[in-house]
Amino acid sequence: MNAQKKPRVPVALTIAGSDSGGGAGIQADLRTFAFHCVHGTSAITCVTAQNTLGVNRVDAIPPEAVVAQIQAVVQDIGVQAAKTGMLLNQEIIFAVAQQVETLQIHNLVVDPVMVSRTGAQLIDDEAVKTLRHTLIPKAAIITPNRYEAQILSGLEIYSLEDMQAAAEIIHKTLRTNAVLVKGGGMQGNLRGVDIWFDGEKLEILTTKQVETTNTHGTGCTLSAAIAANLAKGKNLWSAVQQAKEYVTTALTCALDIGEGQGPVGHFFPLLELGIGE
């Protein structure tokens, strides 16, 4: 049995960390998969004690346990797409990259989670190196935010031109199939503008800017939505465009909970249709 076994419904796998506050990580990914009518499966890499104010503690799951979760899902259920989020350390990254290769997991979205929006470093320096060399080259697309794109490209990013240059450098030096540099961390009217580059097409993705500080989990949600769309058989460019629309809608429904940055509202668009009241 391999990753391509066809189930009745599309299946996606998230390989990521748990966020106790429910805003990002595995919790955001599974809600996003469900909203897209894709069956969500998970391999948990670490457990964070976190809320809207920040990350208080992180406990790693042993790499063998991460591998066992991936194998349990893929060997029985099969997955049409997968995403990675917070992978924490180089042992986990290496183990995940090996499983992607061995189990032939296709349609892989790598969200190279390194620094959270609250400024917390979420992965150590050795792990960044391993991510570059083992997992990133296997991805259909990688989705760095502004700060991650700076680390991966070696450029300081302040303008649209900087974002475009970073996307081109990342594509060239890391040999990725496609890259989406996300602009949630940009200032002024660049906030929410993303850059796509696949070696041929350089595109600027713009949607309406949402005036909210409740943006926790936007990156996780975007990459999970891309994976969900790929699991449903959409091509990469359509998957990205539709995921961008979804994250914008979820942002307009962001939740004002906690004292810090609240999460996006994954299912709250349904309330407008009178479902879930």
Ligand X SMILES: Nc1ncnc2c1ncn2[C@@H]1O[C@H](COP(=O)(O)OP(=O)(O)OP(=O)(O)O)[C@@H](O)[C@H]1O
Ligand Y SMILES: Cc1ncc(COP(=O)(O)O)c(N)n1
**Which partner, ligand Y, ligand X, none, binds residue 106 by CB below 5 to 8 Å per kind?**
none
Distances from the Cα of 73 to the Cαs of 14, 65, 103, in angstroms?
A: 11, 13, 11
Amino acid occupying residue 134: T
Is 150 near ligand X (CB under 6 A)?
A: no
Work out how close the CB of 165 gets to ligand Y at its nearest, in angstroms, rounded to a whole number: 23
Find the catalytic residue in 83, 138, 182, 234: 182
182 is catalytic: yes
Would you tell me which residues interact with ligand Y (CB under 6 A)?
Answer: 16-17, 19, 24-25, 48, 85-86, 113, 116-118, 216-217, 219-220
232 is catalytic: no
| Structure tokens, 162 | 């900087």
> Cα separation of 227 and 185, whole Å?
22
Find the catalytic residue in 185, 219, 262, 265: 219
Q: Quick count: other Cβ atoms within 10 Å of Cβ 133?
A: 12
Work out how close the CB of 181 gets to ligand X at its nearest, in angstroms, rounded to a whole number: 9
Query: Given strand 11-19, what is the order of strands in its sheet?
Result: 54-60, 39-51, 11-19, 81-84, 108-110, 141-142, 179-181, 193-197, 202-206
215 is catalytic: yes
220 is catalytic: yes
Q: Which is nearer to ligand Y, 56 or 159 (CB)?
A: 56
Q: Which of 54, 191, 258, 268 binds ligand X (CB under 6 A)?
A: 191
Query: Is the distance from CB of 133 to CB of 90 less than 8 angstroms?
Result: no
Beta strands 11-19; 54-60: pairing state: unpaired
Is 86 near ligand X (CB under 6 A)?
A: no
| Structure tokens, 97 | 């990259």
Work out how close the CB of 235 gets to ligand Y at its nearest, in angstroms, rounded to a whole number: 27
Is 183 near ligand X (CB under 6 A)?
A: yes
**Which partner, ligand X, ligand Y, none, binds residue 247 by CB below 5 to 8 Å per kind?**
ligand X
> Cα separation of 114 and 130, whole Å?
12
Give me the active site residues, please. Answer: 182, 215, 217-220
Contacts to ligand X by CB under 6 A: 24, 116-117, 145, 182-185, 191-192, 194, 209-210, 215-220, 222, 244, 247-248, 251
